[in-house]
Homo-oligomer: A and B are copies of this chain.
Amino acid sequence: MSNKLASLYLENQLCFPLYAASRLTTKIYTPFLNELDITYPQYLVLMILWQHPEQSVNEIGKKLLLESNTLTPLLKRMEQKNLIQRTRSKSDERSVVITLTENGLSLREKALSIPEKIADSFQDESISKEEVVSFKQTLDKLLGILAEKA
């Protein structure tokens, strides 16, 4: 990184490929998520709730690294779709508890096949399993560092 000029090129930076890969990966999910009539961020919220069907906005936000300015509108849309319920916590009136509805819970079965389908669509590609594992390790490490900075 000694060359300032070179570092101004897109292809020499890390942020751009992250940004582009993120967008394009999300796009791969889209056709499968369309079948469930949900978006990718909504799918993320559902995955979190499928693990523990009752969590506060704050807890969800910590897992997704999002704040209420993003989550509140997102969760309201999910409430309108009857995927979740939003209720003020009795024990702490500041907090809003999100609970899965029957409907939201039922999507879980349909979603079970999604990761497999995604994996399939990469099956014939020239990235080895070891490379993916090592890649994900560094990605997680990077994410840890970034999350600390935020």
* A36 interfacial contact with B, CB 8 Å: no
A143 touches B24 (CB 8 A): yes
Asked if A122 meets B145 with Cβ closer than 8 Å, knowing A8-B111, A24-B150, A25-B14, the reply is yes
Instruction: Specify which chain B residues have a CB less than 8 angstroms from the CB of A135 in the assembled complex.
Output: 135, 138-139, 142
A24 touches B147 (CB 8 A): yes
B-contact 0/1 string along A90-113, CB 8 Å cutoff:
000000000000000000100111
* Chain A residues proximal to chain B, CB less than 8 Å: 1, 4-5, 7-29, 40, 44, 47-48, 50-51, 63-65, 108, 111-113, 115-116, 118-119, 121-122, 125-127, 131-132, 134-136, 138-143, 145-147, 149-150
